[in-house]
A and B are shown apart, each in its own frame.
Chain A
Amino acid sequence: MKKSTSNLEFKLFFRNRSAWIGILILLLTGSAGLYFGKTFIANQQAVIEKAAVLQKKNTLDNIKHFNKDIGLIFFHNKFSTANFPDRWAAFANGQRDVNPYLISVTMLGIEGQLYDTDITNPVSMLLGNMDLSFVYLFLFPLVIIAFTYNLISEQQESGIWSLLKSQTNALVNVIWKKFLIRIAAVYAVAFLLLIAAVIFLHLPIDATLAAVAGLIILYLAFWFAVSIFIVSLGRSSSYNASALVAIWVAICIVIPASLNLLLTQKYGVPEALQNVINQREGYHEKWDMPKEVTMKPFFEHYPQLKRYPFPADKSFSWFWYYGMQQMGDDQAIKSRLAVADKLAARQDFTNIAALFFPTIQAQLAVNELAGSDLNAHLEFQQAIRNHHEKIRLHFYPSIFQEKDIASTDIKSVGLKKFIPTKVHDWSRLLSLLIWTLVFTTIAFKNLKGNALVRNTDSK
């Protein structure tokens, strides 16, 4: 008996045209998300491969051109570092469209080169990436709303409700069954798409997959909880639809957008502009100063380089030149750290906001898992600084002694590969779980408290 009503409910749901439309929309947009997300990352990978070849070629060209002058070769020669996309980056493109993933710098001041952007179309960035995470975060909730908003009200409006009430004393049971079928349908589509992603994007089966799956399960559960909560108020279909869409608009657009405005207002980053000016002045002003002004702090910074004789009597030397470049970076340290502090404050602000808004939490979590968030980029910048420093210290002695370029191993310096550290912040899931439980509890209280029965009676 019990099984047969479930079967009937099942048939009832799938006979509904709108159920199929919802599922179809998710599958279609999901496939589009997979396709565009993958193309986007595949493109970046192809560029990184080309960059490795071009770096070799450019180094050889520079050696050929400026053969006699080792200082000049390093003035021109660029060393590239690539932020290698994690496979998950195709799932959630995150900030990888905004932030450069391939940065080529010479041995000159790093602060003047590190922030150069890639070739990008701001309109595309404004409209946003079409990846699978977008489908999960923004479209799944809408389909959940479409599937559940009239769960009870439809029965009431078509008059079946009073019939049901007289025939069964376990109303909650009937609603629960209907609800379960919708949950099952949505989760089936969600898992289908996730499996498709694993196959199509060659995602490894690891902790990240578990974390993403957990995130999706909880995030969708949150939306089901919100829906059932609104439905449990026992209002009309139109009211439910309006209320749920209003909630969606509020927590998917209006509130995060307002918070973002507050964030930019409160934590503006003029220090970044100051940093450029500091670096530029710190370097250029040295041309008009005695060499001592440059070399004293330079040797304090690198006492190990003191043993190379500095040609103080020459009006120009590469030794002095690279020293001046170093001064640009050294004089920008304060502003650089100020920028880092601001960005950290932003991150804290967002993390707190995320506790209250599951949409923000899910967005942050998925980008973090995919290694496509701001932190991954900042880590990338730090890796470039380290690489740059290593190269500087490696080649400084040869340049300062004006050795032949053939005596260096410049040709063997290839493209540096950077892979962001994997972050699995499980605590992000906790706030999702709590919100889900809160809404589910209230909803069940409403349903059990016969609020529905009273509402319909008073009609």
Chain B
Amino acid sequence: MPNITFTIAKQTYQSTFGNKATLVLTILLGLSLCLATYVGWQNFKTQNNQRLYYKNMVRAQWLSKPDKHPHRMAHYGYLAFREKHELSFFDFGIESFAGVSIFLEAHKQNTVNFSEAGFSNGMLRFGEISIAMVLQLLVPLLIFFLGYNSISAERESGTLKILLCQNVSWKKLLWGKTLGIIGVALTIFIPLILLTILLWASLSNWQISIDATLRLLILILSYSIYFFIVSAITILVSAFQRSSKTALITLLSCWIFFVILMPRIIQAIGTKIHPTPSKIEFANAISEDIQKQGDSHDPNDPHFAAIKDSLLRRYQVDDVKKLPFNYGGYIMAEGERITSHIYSDHQRQLNNTFDKQNSFTVLAGLLNPYLSLKQISMALTASDFKTYVDFQNQAEAYRYGLAQKMNKLQIDKISNHSPGEHEKPLSISKSNWAEQPDFNYKFDHLSNVLKHELLSLMALFTWFIVILLLLQYSSKWIKTI
């Protein structure tokens, strides 16, 4: 008789919404979600527009540079700005802690600077209100408040025994109550998410990519599963605990532990076990490797001395000035190749260490559905660490391309005879600058994102299955009285 389940669900749904406190809480939450959507979008818009504004300014300045030596242009370099994904208004993720702009120049890899956190006087440490934050932290709390007494109250008032006598099995009761509570949660969630989608669509002028739509769909599905898990846990705790009070206290303690305490401690342990080098040690390790392999800035470097000898032999000349191309440009291209290679190796190792640190939190998702959902949500809204690393990699690839492009121009177009101390420096036409394309960050494909988040997705799914099994079979251990 599945309609008993349905009847219980309906009854739970109606009585929950009949409660004045529920209504007030729901409206409050709804308002904060609307606010989060609006402000989140505003925030996204202003910040992205600022970055776009400066991006265009940098491009215009680059193109307007007069005739000059290409190596001067390589040092003038480029400024790249990290664009936000359009869905980042939904989940801020690490956005505020990640830098915004990076200066890309020859010979040197710079850091991504000016994160919002760097301008914060500590307020940021309380968290950020975003749609994701409301859904991840506050909606579960609401579900706890709504459902903590759903079974224990029946027990306390004695109606539980009556219910169970009337051909209602524990299984049906658990399912009915869970469906009732998730119904309440979805009644809040679905209209708001539709509103969010509408707002998002209208604000982006109804130009929505398939990729973004799919991302949002998976996001909605993940959050729905999360709410289901939370609702079922609430009902189960309510069924297993003797009194409503202990059920509530248990649920609140769980919330504090899983949402507030555990994420911090797990990440702190990860950081402790896999320490990262300081910047100064990192730079020192790189420069030691460069000196081992070949330092183009060192006139006595054996690697570069060997290159010089082989060039002289191949072109059968006795002086580099007699080579048919610009020798300085050639040496710089080789130097750039070596240093960039070494730098990228070290950076990769560093990112691996960061991944290891973060893997503790990812693994903890198996024990904590909040953490697995958080990972999924950040990844889908491209506000996660991987996107940030991806940006750094693309910026470095662009930097390398720019430096080598300028070296190539020097090799091909600059005379091998350097002018004297009092002569005009050599230069090439400014028309060459347009050959270097603008920097445009490309977000990863959804399929790659999903592949990378497989563990978190599986963790959430496992929780889903376990909860289903518990609803189905746990009634054996519940005491009626």
Contacts and interface: CB of A to CB of B under 8 A. Distances in A.
Given A253-B127, A268-B46, A287 B122 contact: no
Nearest to B278: A47
Interface in B101-144: 101, 103, 110-129, 133, 137-138, 141
A238 B146 CA distance: 12
A112 B297 CA distance: 22
Interface stretch (B261-269, B302-310, B327-335, B440-448): B261-269
Nearest to B81: A273
A392 interface: no
B98 interface: yes
Contacts of A118: 111, 278-279
A314 B422 contact: yes
Contacts of B54: 270, 273-274, 277
Nearest to B119: A269
Given A54-B280, A268-B47, A374-B120, A119 B350 contact: yes
Contact of B114 (A95, A253, A256, A273): A273
A368 to B, nearest CB: 9
B272 interface: yes
A166 interface: no
B358 interface: yes
- Which one of B98, B280, B281, B421 has the greatest number of beta carbons of chain A within 10 Å? B280
Given A265-B43, A273-B54, A346 B122 contact: no
A128 interface: yes
Interface string B140-177: 01000100110000000000000000000000000000
Q: Which of B261, B281, B284 has the most CB of A within 10 A?
A: B261
A369 to B, nearest CB: 12
Nearest to A378: B121
Contacts of A116: 110-111, 113
Contacts of A39: 272
A374 B122 CA distance: 7
A364 B98 contact: no
Contacts of A122: 94, 97-98, 115, 385, 388
Contact of B248 (A95, A139, A242, A316): A242
A408 B217 CA distance: 66
A453 interface: no
Contact of B58 (A112, A242, A277): A277
Contacts of A277: 54, 57-58, 61, 79
A241 B121 contact: no
A265 B271 contact: no
B39 interface: yes
Contacts, number: 246
Contact of A29 (B261, B358, B423): B261
Q: Which of A29, A237, A257, A280 has the most CB of B within 10 A?
A: A257
Interface in B74-105: 75-77, 79, 81, 93-94, 96-101, 103
A234 B317 CA distance: 99
Contacts of A16: none
A119 B120 contact: no
B271 A121 contact: yes
B72 interface: yes
B197 interface: no
Contact of A51 (B101, B280, B350, B421): B280
Residue of A273, A280, A367, A374 contacting most chain B CB atoms (<10 Å): A273
A440 B297 CA distance: 71
Contacts of A263: 123
A331 interface: no
A117 B99 contact: yes
Interface in A247-263: 249, 252-254, 256-263
Interface residues of B, number: 99
Interface string B237-259: 00000001100110010001000
A301 B125 CA distance: 41
Contacts of A270: 50, 53-54
Contact of A98 (B112, B115, B145, B385): B115
A269 B114 CA distance: 9
B271 A124 contact: yes
A347 to B, nearest CB: 6
B127 A256 contact: yes
A187 interface: no
Highest count of chain A CB atoms <10 Å: which of B76, B124, B128, B354? B124
B76 A284 contact: yes
A117 B79 CA distance: 16
Interface string A313-335: 11110000000000000000000
Nearest to A275: B114
Q: Of B47, B125, B261, B297, which is in contact with the most chain A CB atoms at under 10 Å from its CB?
A: B125
Nearest to B77: A280
B277 interface: yes
The 10 closest A-B pairs by CB, nearest first: A256-B126, A122-B97, A47-B278, A374-B121, A122-B94, A130-B268, A260-B123, A125-B97, A127-B267, A257-B127
14 contacts: A98-B118, A116-B113, A119-B278, A126-B94, A126-B96, A127-B361, A139-B261, A242-B248, A253-B137, A259-B123, A260-B120, A277-B58, A277-B61, A314-B421
Given A124-B267, A280-B76, 14 more contacts: A58-B284, A99-B118, A123-B357, A127-B361, A142-B256, A150-B245, A245-B141, A252-B126, A253-B137, A260-B127, A264-B96, A277-B54, A346-B120, A363-B125
